[in-house]
Protein backbone atom coordinates (compact mmCIF):
# COMPACT_ATOMS: atom_id res chain seq x y z
CA UNK A 1 0.00 0.00 0.00
CA UNK A 2 1.40 3.42 -0.94
CA UNK A 3 1.26 6.63 1.05
CA UNK A 4 1.24 8.75 -2.11
CA UNK A 5 -1.61 11.25 -2.09
CA UNK A 6 -3.37 13.65 -4.44
CA UNK A 7 -4.36 16.87 -2.69
CA UNK A 8 -7.50 18.42 -4.21
CA UNK A 9 -7.77 21.36 -1.82
CA UNK A 10 -6.95 23.93 -4.51
CA UNK A 11 -8.20 22.00 -7.53
CA UNK A 12 -11.44 23.86 -8.12
CA UNK A 13 -11.21 27.63 -7.69
CA UNK A 14 -14.32 29.69 -8.33
CA UNK A 15 -13.82 29.78 -12.09
CA UNK A 16 -13.81 25.98 -12.44
CA UNK A 17 -16.86 23.76 -12.12
CA UNK A 18 -16.45 20.03 -11.56
CA UNK A 19 -17.12 18.05 -14.71
CA UNK A 20 -20.14 15.89 -15.34
CA UNK A 21 -17.93 12.96 -16.28
CA UNK A 22 -19.75 10.63 -13.92
CA UNK A 23 -22.63 10.45 -16.39
CA UNK A 24 -20.34 8.68 -18.88
CA UNK A 25 -18.87 6.11 -16.51
CA UNK A 26 -20.90 3.20 -17.82
CA UNK A 27 -19.80 3.75 -21.41
CA UNK A 28 -16.17 4.09 -20.39
CA UNK A 29 -16.26 0.91 -18.33
CA UNK A 30 -17.42 -0.96 -21.43
CA UNK A 31 -14.80 0.75 -23.57
CA UNK A 32 -11.98 -0.05 -21.15
CA UNK A 33 -13.00 -3.70 -20.92
CA UNK A 34 -13.20 -3.97 -24.70
CA UNK A 35 -9.87 -2.26 -25.31
CA UNK A 36 -8.10 -4.47 -22.74
CA UNK A 37 -9.43 -7.69 -24.25
CA UNK A 38 -7.45 -9.69 -26.74
CA UNK A 39 -3.83 -10.86 -26.94
CA UNK A 40 -1.01 -8.70 -25.58
CA UNK A 41 -3.37 -6.55 -23.53
CA UNK A 42 -5.55 -5.52 -26.47
CA UNK A 43 -5.16 -1.87 -27.43
CA UNK A 44 -3.94 -0.87 -23.95
CA UNK A 45 -0.91 -3.04 -23.07
CA UNK A 46 0.59 -0.23 -21.00
CA UNK A 47 -2.14 -0.81 -18.41
CA UNK A 48 -1.75 -4.49 -17.52
CA UNK A 49 1.79 -4.93 -18.95
CA UNK A 50 1.25 -8.52 -20.18
CA UNK A 51 4.69 -8.50 -21.81
CA UNK A 52 6.47 -8.17 -18.44
CA UNK A 53 6.98 -11.88 -17.54
CA UNK A 54 8.72 -12.59 -20.85
CA UNK A 55 10.66 -9.32 -20.73
CA UNK A 56 11.80 -10.07 -17.18
CA UNK A 57 13.28 -13.35 -18.40
CA UNK A 58 14.91 -11.63 -21.38
CA UNK A 59 16.48 -8.95 -19.16
CA UNK A 60 17.85 -11.61 -16.80
CA UNK A 61 19.39 -13.47 -19.75
CA UNK A 62 20.88 -10.23 -21.10
CA UNK A 63 22.29 -9.06 -17.78
CA UNK A 64 25.70 -10.83 -17.99
CA UNK A 65 26.21 -9.51 -21.51
CA UNK A 66 25.25 -5.95 -20.60
CA UNK A 67 27.68 -5.99 -17.68
CA UNK A 68 30.49 -6.52 -20.19
CA UNK A 69 29.99 -3.02 -21.61
CA UNK A 70 30.97 0.31 -20.11
CA UNK A 71 28.80 2.34 -22.47
CA UNK A 72 25.34 2.06 -23.97
CA UNK A 73 24.54 4.27 -26.96
CA UNK A 74 20.76 4.50 -27.31
CA UNK A 75 19.46 5.49 -30.73
CA UNK A 76 15.88 6.70 -30.44
CA UNK A 77 13.70 9.77 -30.47
CA UNK A 78 10.54 10.89 -28.69
CA UNK A 79 9.02 8.04 -26.71
CA UNK A 80 12.00 5.87 -27.59
CA UNK A 81 14.27 8.12 -25.52
CA UNK A 82 12.36 10.34 -23.08
CA UNK A 83 11.41 7.60 -20.65
CA UNK A 84 14.93 6.18 -20.58
CA UNK A 85 16.38 9.62 -19.89
CA UNK A 86 13.88 10.29 -17.10
CA UNK A 87 14.77 6.99 -15.41
CA UNK A 88 18.49 7.62 -15.80
CA UNK A 89 18.30 11.08 -14.24
CA UNK A 90 16.13 9.80 -11.40
CA UNK A 91 17.83 6.56 -10.43
CA UNK A 92 21.33 6.63 -11.94
CA UNK A 93 22.26 10.29 -11.53
CA UNK A 94 25.94 9.60 -10.94
CA UNK A 95 26.75 10.15 -14.60
CA UNK A 96 26.09 13.87 -14.09
CA UNK A 97 28.20 14.14 -10.93
CA UNK A 98 31.95 14.31 -10.34
CA UNK A 99 33.92 11.09 -10.03
CA UNK A 100 31.50 8.77 -11.85
CA UNK A 101 33.16 5.49 -12.86
CA UNK A 102 30.39 4.04 -15.04
CA UNK A 103 28.31 2.66 -16.51
CA UNK A 104 27.45 5.42 -18.95
CA UNK A 105 24.24 5.80 -20.97
CA UNK A 106 24.41 8.09 -24.00
CA UNK A 107 21.15 8.98 -25.74
CA UNK A 108 21.22 10.11 -29.36
CA UNK A 109 17.72 11.56 -29.60
CA UNK A 110 18.14 14.21 -32.28
CA UNK A 111 19.59 14.74 -35.74
CA UNK A 112 22.76 16.27 -34.33
CA UNK A 113 25.84 15.50 -36.40
CA UNK A 114 28.22 17.00 -33.85
CA UNK A 115 27.02 14.88 -30.94
CA UNK A 116 26.77 11.67 -32.96
CA UNK A 117 30.26 12.08 -34.37
CA UNK A 118 31.54 12.78 -30.86
CA UNK A 119 30.11 9.46 -29.71
CA UNK A 120 31.75 7.65 -32.61
CA UNK A 121 35.06 9.45 -32.05
CA UNK A 122 35.29 9.32 -28.25
CA UNK A 123 33.63 6.03 -27.30
CA UNK A 124 35.52 2.75 -27.58
CA UNK A 125 33.41 0.45 -29.81
CA UNK A 126 34.75 -2.60 -27.98
CA UNK A 127 33.25 -1.27 -24.73
CA UNK A 128 29.97 -0.03 -26.23
CA UNK A 129 26.62 -1.64 -26.94
CA UNK A 130 24.34 0.19 -29.36
CA UNK A 131 20.59 -0.10 -28.74
CA UNK A 132 18.43 0.98 -31.70
CA UNK A 133 14.84 1.69 -30.70
CA UNK A 134 12.01 2.20 -33.17
CA UNK A 135 8.71 0.35 -33.12
CA UNK A 136 8.15 0.84 -36.85
CA UNK A 137 11.81 0.74 -37.81
CA UNK A 138 10.95 3.48 -40.28
CA UNK A 139 11.72 6.50 -38.10
CA UNK A 140 14.10 8.39 -40.36
CA UNK A 141 16.10 9.99 -37.54
CA UNK A 142 16.80 6.67 -35.81
CA UNK A 143 17.33 4.75 -39.05
CA UNK A 144 19.92 7.27 -40.21
CA UNK A 145 21.78 6.94 -36.90
CA UNK A 146 21.57 3.17 -37.18
CA UNK A 147 23.23 3.14 -40.62
CA UNK A 148 26.16 5.18 -39.32
CA UNK A 149 26.44 3.16 -36.11
CA UNK A 150 26.61 -0.07 -38.10
CA UNK A 151 29.50 1.30 -40.16
CA UNK A 152 31.28 2.50 -37.02
CA UNK A 153 30.99 -0.90 -35.36
CA UNK A 154 31.92 -2.89 -38.47
CA UNK A 155 35.03 -0.86 -39.19
CA UNK A 156 36.28 -1.18 -35.61
CA UNK A 157 35.22 -4.70 -34.64
CA UNK A 158 35.06 -6.80 -37.79
CA UNK A 159 32.89 -9.91 -37.60
CA UNK A 160 32.02 -9.39 -33.93
CA UNK A 161 30.23 -6.09 -34.57
CA UNK A 162 26.79 -7.71 -34.50
CA UNK A 163 27.29 -8.65 -30.85
CA UNK A 164 27.40 -4.94 -30.03
CA UNK A 165 23.96 -4.08 -31.40
CA UNK A 166 20.55 -4.74 -29.86
CA UNK A 167 17.26 -3.83 -31.50
CA UNK A 168 13.98 -2.93 -29.83
CA UNK A 169 11.27 -2.89 -32.45
CA UNK A 170 7.82 -4.10 -33.52
CA UNK A 171 6.86 -7.30 -35.28
CA UNK A 172 7.07 -5.74 -38.74
CA UNK A 173 9.05 -3.04 -40.47
CA UNK A 174 12.59 -2.25 -41.54
CA UNK A 175 14.27 -2.86 -38.18
CA UNK A 176 12.63 -6.27 -37.88
CA UNK A 177 13.97 -7.18 -41.34
CA UNK A 178 17.43 -5.93 -40.42
CA UNK A 179 17.34 -7.98 -37.24
CA UNK A 180 16.49 -11.13 -39.16
CA UNK A 181 19.17 -10.41 -41.77
CA UNK A 182 21.99 -9.84 -39.30
CA UNK A 183 20.86 -11.99 -36.38
CA UNK A 184 20.78 -9.16 -33.87
CA UNK A 185 19.47 -9.72 -30.36
CA UNK A 186 16.00 -8.22 -30.58
CA UNK A 187 13.36 -7.41 -28.00
CA UNK A 188 9.79 -6.59 -29.00
CA UNK A 189 7.63 -3.53 -28.57
CA UNK A 190 4.06 -4.77 -27.93
CA UNK A 191 1.89 -4.35 -31.00
CA UNK A 192 -0.46 -1.66 -29.69
CA UNK A 193 2.03 0.12 -27.43
CA UNK A 194 2.78 3.59 -28.76
CA UNK A 195 6.14 5.15 -28.00
CA UNK A 196 4.89 7.63 -25.43
CA UNK A 197 3.34 4.80 -23.40
CA UNK A 198 6.32 2.43 -23.77
CA UNK A 199 8.64 3.34 -20.90
CA UNK A 200 7.86 0.11 -19.02
CA UNK A 201 8.55 -2.08 -22.02
CA UNK A 202 11.96 -3.01 -23.40
CA UNK A 203 12.14 0.55 -24.73
CA UNK A 204 12.80 2.00 -21.29
CA UNK A 205 13.79 -1.07 -19.32
CA UNK A 206 16.84 -2.22 -21.32
CA UNK A 207 18.69 1.03 -20.59
CA UNK A 208 17.35 0.95 -17.03
CA UNK A 209 18.67 -2.59 -16.53
CA UNK A 210 22.04 -1.59 -17.96
CA UNK A 211 22.26 1.18 -15.36
CA UNK A 212 21.32 -1.12 -12.49
CA UNK A 213 17.89 0.42 -11.93
CA UNK A 214 15.31 -1.81 -10.24
CA UNK A 215 13.05 -2.62 -13.20
CA UNK A 216 10.87 -4.99 -11.21
CA UNK A 217 10.07 -2.29 -8.66
CA UNK A 218 9.11 0.12 -11.47
CA UNK A 219 6.74 -2.42 -12.99
CA UNK A 220 5.29 -3.51 -9.66
CA UNK A 221 4.65 0.12 -8.78
CA UNK A 222 2.81 0.69 -12.03
CA UNK A 223 0.75 -2.47 -11.70
CA UNK A 224 -0.28 -1.54 -8.17
CA UNK A 225 -2.05 1.46 -9.71
CA UNK A 226 -3.60 -0.31 -12.68
CA UNK A 227 -4.62 -3.62 -11.07
CA UNK A 228 -7.87 -2.27 -9.56
CA UNK A 229 -9.04 -1.80 -13.16
CA UNK A 230 -7.90 -5.17 -14.46
CA UNK A 231 -8.12 -7.76 -11.67
CA UNK A 232 -11.75 -7.28 -10.72
CA UNK A 233 -15.04 -7.16 -12.58
CA UNK A 234 -14.91 -3.52 -13.56
CA UNK A 235 -17.88 -1.38 -12.63
CA UNK A 236 -18.72 2.33 -12.75
CA UNK A 237 -18.19 2.47 -9.00
CA UNK A 238 -14.67 1.05 -9.26
CA UNK A 239 -13.71 3.39 -12.09
CA UNK A 240 -15.17 6.42 -10.30
CA UNK A 241 -13.06 5.65 -7.23
CA UNK A 242 -9.81 5.40 -9.16
CA UNK A 243 -7.47 8.41 -8.72
CA UNK A 244 -6.63 8.47 -12.44
CA UNK A 245 -10.33 8.96 -13.26
CA UNK A 246 -10.64 11.74 -10.71
CA UNK A 247 -7.54 13.41 -12.14
CA UNK A 248 -8.92 13.08 -15.67
CA UNK A 249 -12.21 14.67 -14.62
CA UNK A 250 -10.26 17.57 -13.13
CA UNK A 251 -8.25 17.96 -16.32
CA UNK A 252 -11.41 17.92 -18.39
CA UNK A 253 -13.02 20.45 -16.07
CA UNK A 254 -10.22 22.99 -16.27
CA UNK A 255 -9.94 22.60 -20.07
CA UNK A 256 -13.69 23.14 -20.34
CA UNK A 257 -13.31 26.25 -18.15
CA UNK A 258 -10.76 27.83 -20.48
CA UNK A 259 -7.49 26.70 -18.88
CA UNK A 260 -5.65 25.70 -22.04
CA UNK A 261 -2.22 25.06 -20.51
CA UNK A 262 -1.17 22.54 -17.85
CA UNK A 263 1.95 23.22 -15.80
CA UNK A 264 3.80 20.10 -14.68
CA UNK A 265 5.68 21.68 -11.79
CA UNK A 266 8.10 19.14 -10.32
CA UNK A 267 9.66 19.89 -6.94
CA UNK A 268 11.42 16.53 -6.76
CA UNK A 269 14.88 17.22 -8.24
CA UNK A 270 15.53 13.59 -9.12
CA UNK A 271 12.29 13.44 -11.12
CA UNK A 272 12.73 16.79 -12.87
CA UNK A 273 13.32 15.18 -16.29
CA UNK A 274 9.99 13.40 -15.95
CA UNK A 275 8.44 16.66 -17.14
CA UNK A 276 9.76 16.17 -20.68
CA UNK A 277 8.41 12.61 -20.72
CA UNK A 278 5.02 13.84 -19.50
CA UNK A 279 5.06 16.65 -22.05
CA UNK A 280 5.12 14.22 -24.96
CA UNK A 281 2.59 11.90 -23.31
CA UNK A 282 0.12 14.74 -22.81
CA UNK A 283 0.67 16.74 -26.01
CA UNK A 284 0.78 13.84 -28.46
CA UNK A 285 -2.20 12.12 -26.86
CA UNK A 286 -4.56 15.08 -26.45
CA UNK A 287 -3.62 17.73 -29.02
CA UNK A 288 -6.25 16.83 -31.61
CA UNK A 289 -9.25 18.38 -33.34
CA UNK A 290 -8.53 21.76 -31.73
CA UNK A 291 -8.77 20.21 -28.27
CA UNK A 292 -6.45 19.48 -25.37
CA UNK A 293 -4.15 21.65 -23.28
CA UNK A 294 -0.51 22.58 -23.71
CA UNK A 295 1.85 20.86 -21.23
CA UNK A 296 4.39 23.18 -19.60
CA UNK A 297 7.14 21.21 -17.81
CA UNK A 298 8.70 23.27 -15.03
CA UNK A 299 11.31 22.47 -12.39
CA UNK A 300 11.17 23.72 -8.84
CA UNK A 301 12.88 25.77 -7.66
CA UNK A 302 14.74 26.63 -10.87
CA UNK A 303 11.70 27.89 -12.75
CA UNK A 304 10.52 30.08 -9.90
CA UNK A 305 13.26 32.34 -11.27
CA UNK A 306 12.43 31.94 -14.96
CA UNK A 307 8.78 31.07 -15.60
CA UNK A 308 6.77 31.77 -12.50
CA UNK A 309 6.30 35.46 -13.28
CA UNK A 310 4.24 34.33 -16.27
CA UNK A 311 2.46 31.66 -14.25
CA UNK A 312 1.38 34.12 -11.56
CA UNK A 313 0.88 37.35 -13.46
CA UNK A 314 0.29 36.30 -17.05
CA UNK A 315 -2.92 35.14 -18.74
CA UNK A 316 -5.25 33.16 -16.48
CA UNK A 317 -5.17 30.10 -18.73
CA UNK A 318 -3.04 27.66 -16.74
CA UNK A 319 -3.74 24.80 -14.38
CA UNK A 320 -1.01 23.05 -12.45
CA UNK A 321 -0.09 19.50 -11.51
CA UNK A 322 2.33 20.05 -8.65
CA UNK A 323 4.74 17.17 -7.86
CA UNK A 324 6.40 16.89 -4.43
CA UNK A 325 7.97 14.22 -2.24
CA UNK A 326 7.85 13.79 1.51
CA UNK A 327 11.14 11.90 1.51
CA UNK A 328 13.58 13.83 3.66
CA UNK A 329 17.16 14.55 2.60
CA UNK A 330 18.46 16.88 5.30
CA UNK A 331 21.68 17.72 3.51
CA UNK A 332 24.21 19.80 5.38
CA UNK A 333 23.70 22.35 8.15
CA UNK A 334 24.16 26.06 7.58
CA UNK A 335 27.07 27.59 9.50
CA UNK A 336 26.43 29.80 12.52
CA UNK A 337 28.45 32.77 11.29
CA UNK A 338 25.86 33.92 8.75
CA UNK A 339 25.27 37.58 7.89
CA UNK A 340 22.44 39.14 9.88
CA UNK A 341 20.09 39.30 6.89
CA UNK A 342 20.35 35.50 6.57
CA UNK A 343 20.22 34.81 10.29
CA UNK A 344 16.95 32.95 9.93
CA UNK A 345 18.94 30.09 8.36
CA UNK A 346 21.05 29.47 11.47
CA UNK A 347 20.38 26.04 12.93
CA UNK A 348 18.58 24.88 9.78
CA UNK A 349 19.54 22.27 7.20
CA UNK A 350 19.89 22.83 3.47
CA UNK A 351 17.19 20.18 2.96
CA UNK A 352 14.62 22.46 4.61
CA UNK A 353 14.89 24.98 1.80
CA UNK A 354 13.28 22.97 -1.01
CA UNK A 355 9.99 22.15 0.80
CA UNK A 356 9.74 25.75 2.00
CA UNK A 357 10.16 26.98 -1.58
CA UNK A 358 7.60 24.42 -2.79
CA UNK A 359 5.08 25.56 -0.19
CA UNK A 360 5.61 29.21 -1.08
CA UNK A 361 5.20 28.53 -4.79
CA UNK A 362 2.10 26.38 -4.29
CA UNK A 363 0.44 28.96 -2.04
CA UNK A 364 1.25 31.81 -4.43
CA UNK A 365 -0.30 29.93 -7.35
CA UNK A 366 -3.37 29.07 -5.31
CA UNK A 367 -3.80 32.68 -4.22
CA UNK A 368 -3.77 33.70 -7.89
CA UNK A 369 -6.65 31.33 -8.65
CA UNK A 370 -4.63 28.72 -10.53
CA UNK A 371 -6.39 25.32 -10.37
CA UNK A 372 -3.80 23.10 -8.70
CA UNK A 373 -3.59 19.45 -7.71
CA UNK A 374 -0.60 18.35 -5.66
CA UNK A 375 0.74 14.83 -6.17
CA UNK A 376 2.78 14.10 -3.06
CA UNK A 377 5.02 11.02 -3.19
CA UNK A 378 5.87 9.17 -0.01
CA UNK A 379 9.40 8.63 -1.31
CA UNK A 380 11.45 8.87 -4.49
CA UNK A 381 11.97 5.21 -5.31
CA UNK A 382 11.51 3.12 -8.43
CA UNK A 383 8.26 1.73 -7.00
CA UNK A 384 6.79 5.18 -6.39
CA UNK A 385 7.99 6.44 -9.78
CA UNK A 386 6.27 3.49 -11.44
CA UNK A 387 3.09 4.41 -9.59
CA UNK A 388 3.31 8.03 -10.73
CA UNK A 389 3.98 7.08 -14.36
CA UNK A 390 1.01 4.71 -14.40
CA UNK A 391 -1.24 7.36 -12.86
CA UNK A 392 -0.21 9.89 -15.50
CA UNK A 393 -0.67 7.44 -18.38
CA UNK A 394 -4.12 6.39 -17.18
CA UNK A 395 -5.29 9.94 -16.53
CA UNK A 396 -4.08 10.95 -20.01
CA UNK A 397 -6.05 8.09 -21.55
CA UNK A 398 -9.22 8.96 -19.62
CA UNK A 399 -8.87 12.69 -20.35
CA UNK A 400 -8.75 11.86 -24.06
CA UNK A 401 -11.90 9.81 -23.77
CA UNK A 402 -13.66 12.62 -21.92
CA UNK A 403 -12.61 14.99 -24.72
CA UNK A 404 -14.06 12.51 -27.26
CA UNK A 405 -10.73 12.01 -29.03
CA UNK A 406 -8.46 9.00 -29.53
CA UNK A 407 -5.51 9.41 -27.13
CA UNK A 408 -3.56 6.60 -28.79
CA UNK A 409 -2.86 8.04 -32.25
CA UNK A 410 -0.88 11.06 -33.48
CA UNK A 411 -2.07 11.85 -37.02
CA UNK A 412 -0.66 15.36 -37.26
CA UNK A 413 2.89 14.24 -36.42
CA UNK A 414 3.02 12.14 -39.58
CA UNK A 415 2.59 15.16 -41.89
CA UNK A 416 5.93 16.67 -40.95
CA UNK A 417 7.63 13.29 -41.36
CA UNK A 418 6.22 12.86 -44.88
CA UNK A 419 7.28 16.36 -45.90
CA UNK A 420 10.81 15.76 -44.60
CA UNK A 421 11.06 12.53 -46.60
CA UNK A 422 9.73 14.33 -49.66
CA UNK A 423 12.41 16.99 -49.27
CA UNK A 424 15.06 14.25 -49.19
CA UNK A 425 13.71 12.65 -52.37
CA UNK A 426 11.90 9.58 -51.03
CA UNK A 427 9.85 7.63 -53.55
CA UNK A 428 6.17 8.50 -53.93
CA UNK A 429 4.80 11.34 -51.81
CA UNK A 430 3.62 13.21 -54.91
CA UNK A 431 1.27 15.51 -53.01
CA UNK A 432 3.89 16.34 -50.40
CA UNK A 433 6.45 17.13 -53.11
CA UNK A 434 3.96 19.41 -54.87
CA UNK A 435 3.18 21.16 -51.59
CA UNK A 436 6.91 21.58 -50.93
CA UNK A 437 7.50 23.08 -54.34
CA UNK A 438 4.72 25.59 -53.79
CA UNK A 439 5.94 26.43 -50.29
CA UNK A 440 9.56 26.91 -51.35
CA UNK A 441 8.65 29.01 -54.38
CA UNK A 442 6.58 31.50 -52.38
CA UNK A 443 7.85 35.06 -52.20
CA UNK A 444 9.86 35.44 -49.00
CA UNK A 445 9.52 38.49 -46.76
CA UNK A 446 12.61 38.77 -44.59
CA UNK A 447 14.22 41.17 -42.13
CA UNK A 448 17.84 41.13 -41.13
CA UNK A 449 18.88 41.11 -37.49
Q: Assess whether 384 carries a catalytic annotation.
A: no
Same-domain check for residues 187 and 242: no
Q: Assess whether 284 carries a catalytic annotation.
A: yes
Q: Assess whether 305 carries a catalytic annotation.
A: yes
pLDDT at 2: 65
User: 18 lies in a domain?
Assistant: yes
Catalytic residue among 162, 417, 421, 433: 417
CATH number of the domain bearing residue 231: 3.40.50.10490
C-alpha radius of gyration, the chain, whole number? 24
Phi and psi, residue 330, nearest 5°: -65, -25
User: 418 lies in a domain?
Assistant: no
Catalytic residue among 14, 122, 237, 305: 305
Same-domain check for residues 282 and 201: no
Same-domain check for residues 126 and 274: no
pLDDT at 57: 98
pLDDT at 229: 93
pLDDT at 342: 95
Low-confidence ranges of the chain (pLDDT < 70): 1-2, 20
Out of 178, 213, 248, pick the residue that ends a domain.
Answer: 213
Same-domain check for residues 158 and 285: no
User: 123 lies in a domain?
Assistant: yes
pLDDT at 412: 84
Same-domain check for residues 102 and 24: no
Catalytic residue among 284, 374, 382, 384: 284
User: 158 lies in a domain?
Assistant: yes
Same-domain check for residues 333 and 313: yes
> What is the domain range of residue 48?
44-213
Contacts of 166 (CB under 8 A, 6+ apart): 62, 129, 130, 131, 132, 184, 185, 186, 187, 206
Same-domain check for residues 208 and 225: no
Q: Count the domains in the chain.
A: 2
Cα 215 to Cα 26, 55, 208: the distances in Å are 35, 10, 7
Amino acid sequence: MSDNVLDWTSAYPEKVSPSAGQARLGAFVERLAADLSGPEGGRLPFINLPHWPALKRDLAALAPRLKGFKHMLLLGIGGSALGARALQKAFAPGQDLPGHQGPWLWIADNVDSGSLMAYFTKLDPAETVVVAVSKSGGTIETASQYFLACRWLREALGDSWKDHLIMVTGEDGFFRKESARHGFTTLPVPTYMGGRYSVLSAVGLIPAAFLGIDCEALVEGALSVTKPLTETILSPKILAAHPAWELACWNWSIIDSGFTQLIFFCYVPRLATLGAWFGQLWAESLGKEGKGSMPLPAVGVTDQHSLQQMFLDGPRDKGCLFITSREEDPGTAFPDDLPAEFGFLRGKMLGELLPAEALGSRMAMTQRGIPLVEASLASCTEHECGRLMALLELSTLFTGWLLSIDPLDQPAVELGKRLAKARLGADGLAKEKADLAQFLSAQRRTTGF
